[in-house]
Structure 1
Amino acid sequence: MTETNDAARHNAKMAKKKAARDKIMATKTDKKGLIIVHTGKGKGKSSAAFGMIFRCIAHEMPCAVVQFIKGGMSTGERDLILSHFSDRCAFHTMGEGFTWETQDKDRDIEMAQAAWAKAKELIRDPANKMVLLDEINIALRYDYLDINEVVAFLQTEKPEMTHVVLTGRNAKEELIEAADLVTEMELVKHPFRSGIKAQIGVEF
């Protein structure tokens, strides 16, 4: 009898919760292209962004990727897109490695500006439903790009239904303020601290 009462109470509670949820969802009718920021010290910023890119590919939605920092090293995402989905996703690796590897500030600035020019071109094209700007926050952090210019462009020139995803640590407050969706990856534990290097299939 107790189990029957518990089940009945649970069903009534869930029905009430569903009715409240349905009422909330009925008010959410608008659609728009989102400015999405993935930041924080934790792992998974680019990985989550590429998850959305692969969703677009699966839905046959044209999309594009611009990598601001990562150099020419092979990554699973890039290799898969270039070998199987280049007709749906334009992929541009514009960086030459992390700043501590290049040790050439003028060159880093030049490459960041070139990547931003390519990003603007891809975002302006309304055919692209999502554009991922991978590690752009690093370029913004070091002031290789003007944060005010980037925000102004996203607010005034991005097509209404285009999603733009910006990844990297230390997202600037101006970008966070302008964004529609911001996720901060929190670092709780990482194998690198235990002497384990980046591994294929996990990091790249």
Structure 2
Amino acid sequence: MSETESRAEAAPADTGENARHAAKMAKIKAARDRMMATKEGEKGLLIVHTGPGKGKSSSGFGMILRCVAHGMPCAVVQFIKGAWDTGERRLLTGHFGELCQFHAMGEGFTWETQDRARDIAAARAGWEKAKELIRDPAIRMVLLDEINIAFRYDYLDVAEVLAFLAEEKPPLTHVVLTGRNAPAELVEAADLVTEMTLVKHPFRGGIKAQPGVEF
């Protein structure tokens, strides 16, 4: 049997499979369209990225870059990594400073500073700056990077932060909070929560943090 004859014989089966696939996708699209028709509201979201896996801050910065791409004013407050020279900091301050304010308020991880009073003061300063930014209705998204670590070590009171967000956050402002061990109260209050799960990490194999991957 020639190659042309083989293709001709296989065509009816392929046509039937394609038709079944098209019918299945049409049903899925119809169901999706019905679901989307019920979603008309907009609101400023409280978004939490937590968990032991990598990608919490990366995801938050991805959202900030989306805001920049849409011409939406946004801001970043870093609570822990302020001492780091990160790629996202270089990019946003060097190229998009007119759209994205970047405030590196932290001085490093608590085991590096080894000074609780200093860490608390830095966290409080970061939160005061965050409140100022969140209150501004022109700023559409504020990323509070690694604030969950400040909650974990009791540098900040989660009840105070949640009360402020409930009472003073403008209705269309999104606030993103990242870091491991998000408090249960924060998870409960949030509109969107993603937990990053650790499956494998090169650090456990002796590979140090690298530019472009970790920072």
Question: How high is the TM-score relative to the length of structure 2?
Answer: 0.94
Counterpart pick for 1:172 among 183, 189, 200: 183
The percentage of aligned residue pairs carrying the same residue is 73
Letter in 2 for 1:89: C
Higher helix share: 2
Q: Does 1:143 align with 2:154?
A: yes
- The CA RMSD over aligned residues, in Å, is 0.7
C-alpha separation in 2, matches of 1:47 and 1:172: 20
Question: What aligned pairs does 1:1-204 form with structure 2 within 5 A after superposition?
Answer: 1-204=12-215
Rounded Cα–Cα distance in structure 2 between residues aligned with 1:7 and 1:202:
41
The one-letter amino acid paired with 1:85 is F
Q: Letter of the aligned partner of 2:150 in structure 1?
A: A
CA distance in structure 2 between the aligned counterparts of 1:90 and 1:16, rounded to whole angstroms? 45
- Identify unmatched segments of 5+ residues in structure 2: 1-11
Aligned structure 1 segments of 4 or more residues deviating by more than 2 angstroms: none
Secondary structure at the residue paired with 2:159? helix
Quote the Cα distance in structure 2 between the aligned partners of 1:88 and 1:80. 12
Q: How many residues align?
A: 204
Equivalent position amino acid for 2:171 in 1: E
Task: Report the 3-state secondary structure (helix = DSSP H, G, I; strand = E; otherwise coil) of the residue aligned with 2:171.
Answer: coil
Q: What is the SS of the residue equivalent to 1:131?
A: strand
Aligned-partner Cα distance in 1 for 2:155–2:94: 31
SS in 2 for 1:159: coil
- TM-score normalised over the length of structure 1: 0.99
Aligned amino acid, residue 151 of structure 1:
L
State the alpha-carbon separation in 2 of the partners of residues 7 and 84 from structure 1: 47
